[in-house]
Structure 1
Amino acid sequence: MLLRRLSIYLMFGTAALACTATAASDNALDKALQEAAQHGHAKKIPLLINNGANVEARDANGSTPLLIATLHNEVGAASVLIEAGADVNAKNTIQDSPYLYAGARGHNEILAMTLAHGADLESTNRYGGTALIPAAERGHVETVRTLIQAGVNVNHVNNLGWTALLEAIILGDGGPRHVEIVQLLVDAGADANLADGQGVTPLQHARQRGYGDIEAILLHAGAQSR
């Protein structure tokens, strides 16, 4: 029964995405703009836009030229597109946006531009997580620092029942980058006692993995031993 219910949820979720995604453009200028974004041909972008290319044209995955540039970390192309008015929050069919993807992948130059041009700090990815959560998981120290300074909620809980702090511990490697990220998070007010969906706390996860440095940070931050 549970598997059947999950299958139904997935079916409706896929259908909803298909219905809400903007149709892919078949315009030659739009496709040329998408290719220029992908390959970092920043000088071509204003010419294409001036000749009628749509700065928000979608490809088959629902990605805009700005998201395409972000996927390939083409900073110059992203800059030109943003200055031309590209939406930094426009999502594709799997709920990635330029802002969310730049944060998740540690594309810090593009991230900074999205933050300066209206990034929605409360927007979430397909897992219900903010940009901060995957950044913490993947060990992007400077990205985490940037997102904290921007004001992203450090205690946001995603669909897995995990915060950025929990992901940094559960999916991190316990090394220097993740230790620094844990310190940044607790310094910014991350709740050291906010447990996952099964009631396991950050401290318990750290101890299970033998992450002594992280354990010490959590204890200093008020984590309760249970």
Structure 2
Amino acid sequence: RRLTDAGVSVNAPMRALADDEFLTLLHVLSCRTCIPNGTRVLAELLNRRANPDARSSLGATPLIFACLHKNVGAVQVLLDSNASAWPVDDHGRNAVRCAMIPDPGVPNSEEVAVELAELLGAAGAPLNEGGAVAPIVEAVMQHNVLALRALIRLGATPDGLNEAVLNAPVTMISDLIEAEANPFIRDATGKTVMEVALARGEDNITTMLRDYIGDLERGGHPHLKTRNQQGGFSSTVDEP
């Protein structure tokens, strides 16, 4: 407070020790849960017109830092100050996607990701937009079952079935099927979800998908439009 009273800008750029990225003080406080009274200082800076959407030299906002480092208190304070969850950093990540990425230094990081998803969802954050990868797909790639279920419950589109079939726990595949994920979307290499399943080689997964696709066909589900547009597996076609 004495520094700001003396005229020091609350948005002045700084460079942390041994770090090439220029940050603001909000960034530093947002990523460090160990600072005593850190959230109180954060709130004071925001009250003194610190920019909640300030960008680091690599495009990250304080909210991105807070989500990445699982600083729940900082996330709440920033959202209360109308920080935006839309900005994407130079690594192709926004705040919601960063909330899904585990921090090895944070105990129970998977559970914290759920808490962050709920905070972000309640604030109207874009749950289907994560930058280069959707948050729910990031949750699948991180094998975070709890976060996947939280995002589905909060209304996120159930994407990521291809990624789940590739190597995720079977329960994640079941959760996505129950949420009516689209099985006709091809992955980045052009493979169908059934081709990915056959390559994985687990009969229970192949059977689960075949039954699911058959149910969609019998019910005339709108997902069939995707298959008709780009071609895909039919439950009536024999496996190679």
Q: Which runs of 4+ in 1 moved over 4 A?
A: none
- Tell whether 2:114 aligns with 1:108: yes
Distance in 2, matches of 1:179 and 1:198, equals 22
1:52 to 49, 52, 55: 49
CA pair 197-78 structure 1, distance change in 2 beyond 3 A: closer
1:87 to 65, 68, 84: 84
**Deviation (angstroms), 1:137:** 2.2
Normalized per residue, which structure has more helix?
A: 1
- Aligned ranges for residues 151-166 of structure 1 at < 5 Å? 151-155=155-159, 164-166=160-162
Q: For 1:33, give the aligned amino acid.
A: L
Q: For 1:114, give the aligned amino acid.
A: L
- Tell whether 2:25 aligns with 1:32: yes
CA pair 63-83 structure 1, distance change in 2 beyond 3 A: same
Distance in 2, matches of 1:100 and 1:115, equals 12
- What whole-Å deviation, never above 9, does each CA across 1:9-46 have from its counterpart, x for those lacking one? xxxxxxxxxxxxxxxx6446x72222111112212111
Q: How many residues align?
A: 186
- 1:209 is aligned to 200
Identify unmatched segments of 5+ residues in structure 2. 1-10, 15-22, 103-109, 215-234
**Deviation (angstroms), 1:220:** 2.4
Superposition RMSD in Å: 2.3
- What whole-Å deviation, never above 9, does each CA across 1:64-106 have from its counterpart, x for those lacking one? 1111111111111111111121112222223311112213545
**Deviation (angstroms), 1:147:** 1.7
Q: For 2:181, give the aligned amino acid.
A: A
- Tell whether 2:59 aligns with 1:62: yes
Larger radius of gyration: 2
TM-score normalised by L of structure 1? 0.72
Distance in 1, matches of 2:94 and 2:185, equals 28
**Deviation (angstroms), 1:197:** 5.6
1:179 to 163, 166, 170: 170
